[in-house]
Amino acid sequence: MNFAQLTEKIVRALVVDEDAVRVKEFPSEDEKMILLEVMVQEDDLGRVIGKNGRTAAAIRTLIQASSALHENKYVKINFDKF
């Protein structure tokens, strides 16, 4: 399962400027960890993070649950703006 594609699909559903969403997977020193960087427009960052970080936490929970079913790796997601 490609967690970057799944994350991008979820984030695109939340933002106004869908074409500006970029998700990159970075190599990790630990083979049991996946690092994802989500980049969105500055105006959309609040939508992705949500009040008190609840939306970002929900995205992380969904991706981690998917990982537990398929590869059982820890997925770390960082959200940032362009």
* pTM across the whole model: 0.92
What's the farthest any 2 CA atoms get from each other in the chain?
35
Q: Which CATH superfamily hosts domain 3-81?
A: K homology (KH) domain (3.30.300.20)
**The pLDDT of residue 82:** 87
pLDDT digits (tens, 9 = 90+) for 3-58: 999 999 999 999 999 999 999 999 888 889 999 999 999 999 999 999 999 999 99
Of the candidates 56, 81, 50, 71, the residue with the CA atom closest to the CA atom of residue 3: 71
Q: Which residues contact 35 (CB under 8 A, 6 or more apart)?
A: 25, 26, 27, 28, 76, 78
